Structure 1
Amino acid sequence: MRFVAMKLHTKEQAKEGEKEVKEPEEQRVTKWELTIDGYLRFLVDSKLVYDTLEKIIEDAAYPYYAEFRNTGLERSASLEKDLQWFREQGHTIPEPSTPGLTYAQYLKELSENDPQAFICHFYNIYFAHTAGGRMIGRKVAEKILNNKELEFYKWDGDLSQLLQNVRDKLNKVAEGWTREEKNHCLEETEKSFKFSGEILRLILS
C-alpha cells in the first residue's frame, strides 16, 4: 500500500513522488497562505473522519475490523482536546463541512459493503497523518500558532512501534484475501487521496 501511495505524492511532498503539482495543497507547506479559520475547518472535518473510523472499528461489521481497536493511532480524543483549546482562546468552532461529511458517509458505506476498499482508507488516513500530516502540523504551528504543539500530533508510546504493530495486523488480515481482493484494496488508494486532499485544502480556504 505504501508503494502505491507514494506514486500519488508530488516531488514536493515526498522524494519518491511521481505526480505533478496541480492543486495548491500539493505544493510545499512553506508556500501555503494560512489562517486560523481555515485550519479550524480542517481540524473539524478531520475529527469527523476519525470519529467515523473509530466508530466503524468499534462496531466491527466485519470481525477482523476489531483487530484495529486501541492501536494507539486513534486521533478523535486528541482532536477534541485541541478544539477545546481553540475554544478557550476565544475561537468559534465551525460545523463540519462538505468534504468531511462526504468522506465520512463514504467510509460508512464502504465499511459495510466493501471491506477491502475500507481497509485501504484506514491505512492511508492513519499512516499519512504520522508522516506528511506531522510535517504539516509543525509548519502550521510555526506560522500561525506560535509553535503550539497540538495533541493531534502527539502519540502515547513509540510511534514507529505503533505503526509496525498496525502493519503486522494489516498483513495478517490481507493474508486471507484473494489476489483480486488485494488488488481491489490497492486500487482504492487514489480515491483515498482525493477525499483526504479535499479536507487538506480546507486549510487554505
Structure 2
Amino acid sequence: MAEGRRSGSGGFVDEMRSVAMKLHTRDQAREGEKQSQGKPWRKWEPTIDGYLKFLVDSKMVYDTIDIILHKADFPEYAEFRNTGLERAENLAKDLEWFKEQGHSVPEPSTPGVDYSLYIEELSKEDPQSFICHFYNTYFAHTAGGRMIGKKVAAKILNNKELEFYKWDGDLSQLLQNVREKLNRVAENWTRDDKDHCLEETEKSFKFNGDILHLMLT
C-alpha cells in the first residue's frame, strides 16, 4: 500500500504516488482501480507464526536497501541515507521482543530472499527502477502498513505497538524531506528515465504483497 491522501508536493513524487494508488484495490484506497483478490485486508486473520515470517522477511529487505544505499553504486543513492525512515534496527528490536516472549524467530523465507536478491541486482545497473522500489517500500509502510500493523496488534498482540511502527521525530516531516530528495534526483532524469521508473511499480507491489501475505500463513 502506498502513501495515503495528502496535499500535493508536486514533482515526480506525485507521479509515483498516482501510479501506485491505481494499483490498490477499492478496499485499500479510494483511488484504487484493481479488483480485490481474496479477503479484504480488514478481514484478515493473522497468526503469530505468520506475522513473525512477515517481520523477518521485511527486515531482510530493509537491511538490503540499507546496504545498497551505503555502498552507493550510483551517487544519487547516497541522498537517501539516514533519512529517519530506516526500519531494520527497529525490526531487530521487535524480533528480540518476540524471542523474550518465548517465540521462535524463523529464518527468512522465499518472498524476502527473492525480493532482496532482485533489488540488489537491480541497484547495480538500474537506478531508476531501484528508486521506485525504495519509494514504494518505505512510503507504503508509513501509510497502509501502519493501518495493517494496528489491526494485527489488536487481533494477536493485545494492542502492543511494535517498534516497526514508530519513528523518531515528526513522520510527516521525514516523509516530506524524502519527497524533496526524490524530486531533486528525478530532475536529472529524462522523460524515458521517469517512465522506466514508473513501470517498475507493479513489480514492487507484487514483491511487497508476497511478503505481506506471509502473516496469514
Distance 1:44 1:164 in 2: 28
Q: Secondary structure at the match of 2:146?
A: helix
Question: What's the CA shift string for 1:52-73, capped at 9, x where partnerless?
Answer: 0011001111011000000000
Q: Within 5 Å, which residues of 2 pair with 1:77-92? A: 77-92=89-104
In the alignment, which residue of structure 2 is the partner of 1:8? Answer: 23
What secondary structure sits across from 1:71 in the alignment?
Answer: coil
- Identity value in percent: 73
Q: Distance in 2 between matches of 1:16 and 1:159?
A: 23
SS of the residue corresponding to residue 77 of structure 1 reads: helix
Quote the offset at 1:22 in angstroms.
Answer: 1.3
Query: Where does 1:36-115 land on structure 2 (aligned, <5 Å)?
Result: 36-115=48-127
| CA-CA distance at 1:155 after TM superposition | 0.2
What CA RMSD, in Å, does the superposition of the two structures yield over aligned residues?
Answer: 0.6
Aligned residue for 1:67, secondary structure, equals: helix
Q: Partner of 2:27: helix, strand, or coil?
A: coil
Counterpart secondary structure, 1:12: coil
Do the aligned partners of 2:69 and 2:77 also contact (CA within 8 Å) in 1?
Answer: yes
Which runs of no fewer than 5 residues in structure 2 stay unpaired? 1-15
Distance (whole Å) between structure 1 residues aligned to residue 104 and residue 170 of structure 2: 34
What is the SS of the residue equivalent to 1:138?
helix
2: CA distance, partners of 1:16 / 1:150: 29
How much has 1:120 moved relative to structure 2?
A: 0.2
1:1-205 equivalences in 2 (<5 Å): 1-24=16-39, 27-29=40-42, 31-205=43-217
Tell me how far apart the structure 2 counterparts of residues 6 and 147 of structure 1 sit (CA, whole Å).
28
TM-score normalised to structure 1 length: 0.97
User: Following superposition, which runs of at least 4 residues in structure 1 exceed 2 angstroms of deviation?
Assistant: none
> Shift of the alpha carbon at 1:23?
4.0
Shift of the 134–3 alpha-carbon distance from structure 1 to 2, 3 Å rule, reads same
Aligned length: 202
Distance 1:38-1:115 versus aligned 2 partners, 3 A rule: same
- In structure 2, distance between residues paired with 1:53 and 1:185: 17
Shift of 1:28: 3.0
SS of match in other structure, 1:101: helix
Instruction: Measure, in 1, the Cα distance between the counterparts of 2:157 and 2:30.
Output: 28
Q: How far off is 1:78 after superposition?
A: 0.1
Q: State the TM-score, normalized to the length of structure 2.
A: 0.92
